[in-house]
Amino acid sequence: MKLSLRIWRQPDAQAEGKMVSYEIDEVSEDASFLEMLDVLNERLIGEGEDPVAFDHDCREGICGACSLVIDGQPHGPQAATTTCQLHMRKFKDGDKIDIEPWRAGAFPVIKDLVVDRSAFDRIIQAGGYISAPTGTAPDAHAVPIPKQDADAAFSAAACIGCGACVAACPNGSGMLFMGAKVAHLGLMPQGQPERHTRVLGMVAAHDDAGFGGCTNTGECAAACPKEIGLDVIGKLNRDFRKAAIRAA
Ligand code: SF4
Ligand code: FES
C-alpha cells in the first residue's frame, strides 16, 4: 500500500506544533500501525531527520502505553482495539491518514505524539490501592464473592490506563478511567476499608489535574479498547455521594 500521512510534529512541550506530511509506500497490510511508523522512522533516521516520537511498550494490548489519535479517533477506526493491535489491513491503498497525540488539557504534549499521562498516576496514588492483606492466590479464592460482583470487578480491572477515554471526551474527563478503578476495587471485600477515602481522594486528584466533568456523552466508552462501560461512572458517582455525606 501507498499512504499519505499527516503527523503532528512538536519538538518539545513549549514549541508550537504542526501537521507534517509524509508519503510512505510498500506498507504491508500485515504490519501493525506502529510497525508502519517504525518503517517511516527508519527512513527518517537514514535521511538524518528526527524520527517521530510515539509511546509504546508491550505492543500486545496490555500496557496502555500506545496512544495515537488516528483520523480523529483515539486508537483509530477499529472498535475495542489499542493502537498497537490495529493493523494496516484496516486501511486501503492511497488512504490519507492523520495522526495526532491525545488532545486533553490534563495530558500536555511532551514531544510529537507523546503526552504526559502522569495525572493518571496521581489519581491512582490518591486511592487506587488496598491496604488489606490478601495472602496468596488460594487464600483469595477462599473469600466468597458473589459471581456478578466478581465478574463486574474483573471487567473493570481490564482498564489499562491508556487515556483514550480522556482523549475522546469533549470535556477531557477522566471519569471512565476513575470509575473503572473505583468499581474494580470497591466491588471486592478487600477494597472496602478505603472505599470512601478512595473515591474522595481520586476525585480531588482528578479535578486538581485539570480533567473536565462528565456530561454523559458516552464518547469515552465508545473509544475504550477494553470496553469499559458507562455503568462504572454510575458506581463512582454513588460512592462519591455516600462518601461526601459521611465526610460532611
Ligand atoms: S477506561 Fe478504557 S479508555 Fe479509559 S484508560 Fe481505561 S482502558 Fe483506556
Ligand atoms: S503498546 Fe502496550 S497496549 Fe499498546
What are 44-78's pLDDT values in tens digits? 999 999 999 999 999 999 999 999 999 999 999 99
* 163 and 67 part of one domain: no
Ligand 2, from 59, 70, 114, 117: best to mutate by most atoms within 8 Å of Cβ? 59
Q: Tens digits of per-residue pLDDT, 120-169?
A: 999 999 999 999 988 888 887 888 999 999 999 999 999 999 999 999 99
Reported confidence tier of residue 82, pLDDT bands at 50, 70, 90: very high
Ligand nearest to the CA of 164: 1
Rounded to a whole number, what is the distance in angstroms from the first to the last CA of the chain?
A: 62
* 141 and 184 part of one domain: yes
Which grid coordinates belong to 99?
495522526
* 195 and 233 part of one domain: yes
**Last residue of a domain, which of 77, 111, 145?**
111
Using a 6 Å cutoff on CB, does residue 176 contact ligand 1? yes
Helix (H, G, I), strand (E, B) or coil at 71: coil
Using a 6 Å cutoff on CB, does residue 163 contact ligand 1? yes
**Last residue of a domain, which of 80, 111, 142?**
111
Which atom of ligand 2 is closest in space to residue 63's alpha carbon? 2
* 107 and 125 part of one domain: no
Reported confidence tier of residue 81, pLDDT bands at 50, 70, 90: very high
Residue 67 CA to ligand 2 centre (angstroms): 8
Q: With both helix axes pointing from N to C terminus, report the angle between 118-125 and 195-208 in degrees, rounded to the nearest 10.
A: 150
Q: Which helix (H) or strand (E) holds 138?
A: helix 137-141
Ligand nearest to the CA of 82: 2
Which atom of ligand 2 is closest in space to residue 55's alpha carbon? 1
Pocket of ligand 2 (CB under 6 A): 56-59, 61-66, 82-84, 160
Residue 94 CA to ligand 1 centre (angstroms): 31
* 33 and 98 part of one domain: yes
Q: Into how many domains does the chain fold?
A: 2
Q: Tens digits of per-residue pLDDT, 3-25?
A: 999 999 999 999 999 999 999 99
Count other C-beta atoms under 10 Å from residue 214's C-beta: 20
Residue 234 has pLDDT above 90, yes or no: yes
* 74 and 138 part of one domain: no
Q: pTM surpassing 0.85?
A: yes
Average pLDDT over residues 215-224: 98
In b/e form, how buried is each residue of 29-68, taking b as 16+ CB within 10 angstroms?
Answer: eebbbbbbbbebbeeeeeeeeeebbbbbeebebebbbbbb
Computed over every residue of the chain, the mean pLDDT equals: 97
Tell me phi and psi for residue 62, to 5 degrees: -110, -40
- H-type alpha helices, the chain: 33-46, 118-125, 137-141, 147-156, 164-168, 175-186, 195-208, 219-223, 231-247
CATH number of the domain at 78, please: 3.10.20.30
Using a 6 Å cutoff on CB, does residue 162 contact ligand 1? yes
Residue 98 has pLDDT above 90, yes or no: yes
Residue 86 CA to ligand 2 centre (angstroms): 10
- Structural domain that includes position 36: 3-111
pLDDT at 15: 98
Using a 6 Å cutoff on CB, does residue 235 contact ligand 1? no
Count other C-beta atoms under 10 Å from residue 163's C-beta: 23
Ligand nearest to the CA of 226: 1
Using a 6 Å cutoff on CB, does residue 159 contact ligand 1? yes
How many angstroms separate the CA atoms of 217 and 157, rounded? 22
